[in-house]
Amino acid sequence: YVELSSIVTLRVTTDTFVANQNMSRELKDMFRDSVLTNANIRIRKRNPYTSGEMTTIQDWTSDGIIISSEDTILYTWDTQSLDKGDYVVEVNYQALEQTFYSEEFSLVLR
């Protein structure tokens, strides 16, 4: 839950698994840190009066996205001009030239 009219930092964590047994421990640790690039976020609002229709609040954008050294995606979300309701957040990012999409997750503004 998020307080309406607040400014919050959304944090999306990611996990990277390296299964190459020939790679040194130090190299595996370096690979795990800062492997994400080109992260984007999309925020949509569920319409409570329809079955599944959503309104796009923030279309895919990389503006304001920060990727931490632990590959956590950070986005500062200003809810001051929004209405109460159920919002759906999704991110995508690149790792090793492949694009990955997170599962959608809900946030409730109240």
| HSE-CB of 35 using CA atoms within 13 angstroms | 19
110 residues of the chain, pLDDT tens digit each: 999 999 999 999 987 776 777 777 777 666 666 678 899 999 999 998 877 789 999 999 999 999 998 889 999 999 999 999 999 999 999 987 889 999 999 999 99
Nearest C-alpha neighbor of 58 from the set 10, 1, 3: 10
Strand partners, 100: 93
43, two tokens? 């925020």
Structure tokens at 64: 């304001």
Closest to 63 (Cα-Cα) out of 33, 90, 38: 38
pLDDT value of residue 31: 66
Name the H helices within 1-110: 25-32
